[in-house]
Amino acid sequence: MYRVCKIFEIEGGHFLSKHKSRCKNPHGHTRKIEVVLAAETLDENDMVCDFKALKAAIYDYIDSFDHTMLVNTDSAHYEYLSQNFERVIPFDAIDPTTEAMAKMIFDHVSDELKKGISYTADDGVNYSIRDCVILERVRVGEGLSSWAEYSI
């Protein structure tokens, strides 16, 4: 298998309402998000896919997590936060752990691949991702020393 990885970096906050210690308080992380695609063969350009196509397909979604507060919809604070702040991302009845975030991003990228990804650059060149390319995993880093991932 050939593999490629596109890395994004964002800043964001969360709190874990089910946590018994400090993580139950609002806090933030620098997060490195790694999206790994794989294929058994290379395309006509000898690539799994062009990074431009992958970035174009998922950048807006990944960027939607930047400078946000991730909140469990069951949290007593969810309603207040969602009504008083612009960038709140709800996690439906689950704490917004790094594991849950990795799965959320995995599911989105997987759906985008199923729809078919094609991108036309400013110079008129079309980049697409072949149907045989699979999403292998999404890894989300939490600071410099920890990560969680979701994979097939």
- What's the number of domains the chain is made of? 1
pLDDT in tens, 80-107: 999 999 999 999 999 999 999 999 999 9
DSSP string, 15-71: --TT-SSGGGS-EEEEEEEEEEEEESS--TTSSS--HHHHHHHHHHHHHTTTT-EEE
pLDDT band of 119, cuts 50, 70, 90: confident
CATH number at residue 58: 3.30.479.10
pLDDT averaged over the chain? 94
pLDDT at 33 over 90: yes
pLDDT in tens, 38-49: 999 999 999 999
Q: What is the pTM of this model?
A: 0.93
Q: In terms of C-beta density within 10 A (0-12 exposed, 13-18 middle, 19 or more buried), how is residue 97 classed?
A: buried
Q: CA-based angle 133:107:24, to the nearest 5?
A: 140
Q: Which domain covers residue 49, as residue numbers? A: 2-151
What pLDDT shows up at residue 113? 94
